[in-house]
A and B are shown apart, each in its own frame.
Chain A
Amino acid sequence: MSHAPILSLDNVSKTFGGGKAPVYAARAVSLELTPGRTTALVGESGSGKTTCARLIMREYEADEGKILFKGEKLGTGQFADLSAYRRAVQMIFQDPFASLNPAHTIRYHLERPLKLHRKDLAKAEREAGIVKLLEKVKLPADQMLEKYPHELSGGQRQRISIARALAVGPEVIVADEPTSMLDVSVRLGILNLLNEMKRSLDLALLYITHDIATARYVAEDIMVMFSGQIVEWGPVESVLGNPAHPYTRLLLSAVPDPDVRLGEATDFSPDDIVAIRKDAAQAQSEVREVGPGHFIRVPGGTAQA
């Protein structure tokens, strides 16, 4: 890809709670999102994935470091205004049941972003826009528009969420666990849709998940996060094929794999697990390149790579 990154985080940190036990939700996080590429951010609950999403969405202010969108620091320049920024950077949430208002029809959900962000459009143009959005996410407009969220399945609702995010013509989409509440057979359709959108609209996509197999399916690049730090990152096949950080190895060893029976799996002992997690939770400032574009933070302590 010859594209330059459109959004980047440079050594961004965010801490919650002061005093004796502050929570380092993001520690010196650096990442780049590029048009036409999907970057997956994976890790366990509490690792800081969603904090990164919220920092990008400007729901949190970073304590340290800077976030650049099209070369400008967040809150300054052309995109200083939050609504101008949100027109360019949109989010898709995990829970398709909670993220749509039960009191409003699908038409309302899709018309509202157009009303707010595209004041130039006449009513008829908005209507045409809504129909087009539903076509994009492969839902029949004539059957959907007057329905309420509870009349739709989880997969259909998530498609509506995607259509809503696309309504304003964004350049970056942050998808936070968009498929984790859906059934296996519905997940693939949503992942395929995200892939298509990325290609046809040249979107920069940040795909946040704890499901590493789906990350491999949709993403070109992957970042593994633990305890607020990105401990390993690079091209998805390289990181998953040759994990170099002990925590990545631990995480990958525990992903259910139907080819390996439980007793035959090469597992870490409970003591290993404690040691690896303890080490990985330490601040690791040294970065080492272990393959082309594939980096780790060098762990200290006992569980050396």
Chain B
Amino acid sequence: MSAPVLSVRNLSIDYVGEDSDFHAVKDVSFDIAKGEFFGLAGESGCGKSTIAFAIARLHQPSALIRRGEILVEGRNVLDLDKKALEKFRWTEVAMVFQSAMNSLNPVLTIEAQFHDVLKTHLGLSREQSRKRAEELLALVDIPAERLKSFPHQCSGGMRQRIVIAICLALNPKLLIMDEPTTALDVVVQREILQRIDVLRKELGFSILFITHDLGLMAQVCDRIGVMLEGELVEVGDARQIHTAPTHPYTKKLWASMPRLRGAQIGGEASL
């Protein structure tokens, strides 16, 4: 097995309070291999988003990384200075947020928002970045004429795909997606995830996928980590997490999810 793209080692993060600290992430370690679709599951407040923000070095006070390392391609992200970080974000790690479809600038056209990234990082001219933006939009099945549109003229699903296309502009090695489709309808969600799955196979990037929807995760991910109150309680192959979970919490999560087909859950397994 080749070296992992991302390696989180003994990571502990606290939210510093006046009287006491809240231990949001407790001694978490996991690896993501090249091209791997890795899922981090858990309920609100379990620390999954805190980890995502720390990997992109987007965590802000009062979050404090107490211990641990975050290695991307062998380099500790926590050691990067401001200049190195600018290069690191987008080229190494790009991030799609839950509200990403609202993260586009409402007063700029889609084209201008692509140009912003491409000019800053690659120094492309308007002409060059338009060409590159057309290629990127094609990746997410959006016609080139959309470049002239403003965000409000595009549907939520389309905006989410545009954000993903911008994230892919500099060929990042790792795409972090924090609840990327939670605000979308299931049909749109499926279309987007399918597209992402094809792209990661074509372009070879890895994915850290964060969601509370364990069913969705089992469907799309290669491996899954389950978090409970800041701890990574179980990591395994997606199929194993689904069919043979070992941790009681993972079992309880499955037992509390009503099934669409087949035998219904018992209903008494409420946590």
Q: Which residues of A contact B (CB under 8 A)?
A: 44-45, 183-189, 191-192, 210, 212-214, 216-217, 240-241, 250-263, 265, 267, 270, 273
Closest A-chain residue to B184, C-beta based? A45
Docked complex Cα distance between A142 and B242 (Å)? 41
CB-CB contacts below 8 Å: B239-271 with A: 242, 252-253, 256-262, 264-265, 267, 269-271
- The residues in B between 47 and 95 inclusive whose CB is less than 8 angstroms from any CB of A are none
> Do B189 and A184 have beta carbons less than 8 Å apart?
no
B43 within 8 A of A: yes
- Seed contacts A213-B215, A257-B261; 13 additional CB < 8 Å A-B pairs: A44-B185, A184-B213, A185-B256, A185-B271, A188-B265, A210-B185, A217-B258, A256-B186, A258-B215, A259-B262, A265-B219, A270-B141, A273-B191
Interface membership of B163, Cβ < 8 A: no
A262 touching B258, Cβ below 8 Å: no
- Per-residue A-contact encoding for B150-190, CB less than 8 Å = 1, 0 else: 00000000000000000000000000000000000111011
Contact status A186-B190, CB under 8 Å: no
Residue from A185, A210, A251, A260 whose CB has the most chain B CB atoms within 10 Å: A185
Is chain A's binding surface mostly helix, strand, loop or mixed? helix
| Complex CA distance for A241 and B186, rounded to whole angstroms | 18
The answer to whether A262 and B193 touch across the interface, beta carbons within 8 angstroms, is: yes
Is B16 an interface residue, CB under 8 A from the partner?
A: no
Instruction: Determine the interface band of chain B, counting residues with CB < 8 A from chain A.
Output: 35 or more
B186, A187: Cβ atoms closer than 8 Å? no
- Whether B197 and A263, one on each chain, are in contact in the complex, defined by CB atoms closer than 8 angstroms, is yes
Min CB–CB distance A248 → chain B (angstroms): 12
Chain B positions within 8 Å of A, measured between CB atoms, are 43-44, 141, 185-187, 189-191, 193-194, 197, 212-216, 218-220, 242, 252-253, 256-262, 264-265, 267, 269-271
Across the A-B interface, give the 7 residue pairs with the lowest CB-CB distance, nearest first: A258-B218, A217-B258, A256-B216, A185-B271, A44-B185, A254-B190, A183-B43
Who on chain A is nearest to B211 by CB?
A: A256
Q: Min CB distance, A299 to chain B, in Å?
A: 16
In the assembled complex, the CB of B210 is this many whole angstroms from the nearest CB of chain A, namely: 14
A216, A256, A263 pick with most chain B CB within 10 angstroms: A256
Beta-carbon contact of B194 and A44 below 8 Å? no
Contacts of B262 in A (CB 8 A): 259
Q: Is the CB of B186 within 8 A of A262?
A: no
CA of A174 to CA of B197, assembled, Å: 39
Residues of A within 8 A of B218 (CB): 258
Contact between chains at B185 and A45 (CB < 8 Å): yes
What B residues does A241 contact at CB under 8 A? Answer: 261
A257 touches B215 (CB 8 A): yes
Q: Are B264 and A217 in contact (CB under 8 A)?
A: yes
CB pair B260–A251 under 8 Å, yes or no, is no
Task: Write the chain B residue with the least CB distance to A241.
Answer: B261
Contact of B189 among A217, A254, A258 (CB under 8 A): A254
Q: Which of B44, B191, B259 contacts A213 (CB 8 A)?
A: B259
Q: What residues of chain B lie closer than 8 Å to A192, measured between beta carbons?
A: 267, 270
Find chain B residues with CB under 8 A from A263 CB: 197
Contact present for B141 and A184 (CB under 8 Å): no
B197 touches A262 (CB 8 A): yes
Q: Do A262 and B260 form a contact, CB below 8 Å, given A45-B185, A192-B270?
A: no
In the bound assembly, the distance between CA atoms of A240 and B219 in angstroms comes to 20
Out of A255, A258, A260, A267, name the residue touching B186 (CB < 8 Å): A255
A256 and B215 contacting across the interface, CB-CB below 8 Å: yes
How far is it, in angstroms, between the C-alpha of A184 and the C-alpha of B265 when the chains are bound? 13
Q: Within the assembled complex, what's the spacing in Å between the Cα atoms of A255 and B44?
A: 22
- Smallest Cβ-Cβ distance to B258: which chain A residue: A217
Q: Is A252 a contact partner of B219 (Cβ separation < 8 A)?
A: no
Chain B: minimal CB distance from A59 (Å): 24
By the criterion CB–CB under 8 Å, are B260 and A216 in contact? Answer: yes
A257 B187 Cβ-Cβ under 8 A: no
Assuming A45-B185, A184-B43, is B270 touching A260 (CB within 8 A)? no
Q: Which residue of B lies closest to A212 (CB)?
A: B260
Known A216-B259, A255-B186; contact A185-B219, beta-carbon cutoff 8 A: no
**Which of B141, B194, B270 has the most chain A CB atoms closer than 10 A to its own CB?**
B270
A184 touches B197 (CB 8 A): no
Pick 6 A–B contacts, CB within 8 A, sort by A.
A188-B265, A188-B267, A256-B186, A256-B215, A258-B219, A267-B190
Q: In whole angstroms, what is the CA distance A214 to B186 when docked?
A: 14
How far does the Cβ of B171 sit from chain A's closest Cβ, in whole Å? 23
Q: Considering only CB atoms, which chain A residue lies closest to B193 in the complex?
A: A262
Q: B164 CB to closest chain A CB, in angstroms?
A: 16
A48 to B: closest C-beta gap in Å = 14
State A255–B270 Cα separation when bound (angstroms): 22
Closest A residue to B195 by beta carbon equals: A270
A104 to chain B, nearest CB (A): 25
Which of B44, B220, B260 has the most chain A CB within a 10 Å cutoff? Answer: B260
Closest Cβ–Cβ distance, residue A109 to chain B (whole Å): 23
Q: How far is the CA of A188 from the CA of B270 in the complex (A)?
A: 6
Q: Which residues from chain B contact A210 at a C-beta distance below 8 Å?
A: 185-186
B219/A250 in contact, CB under 8 A: no
Determine the chain B residues whose CB is within 8 A of the CB of A256 once the complex forms.
186, 189, 213, 215-216, 219
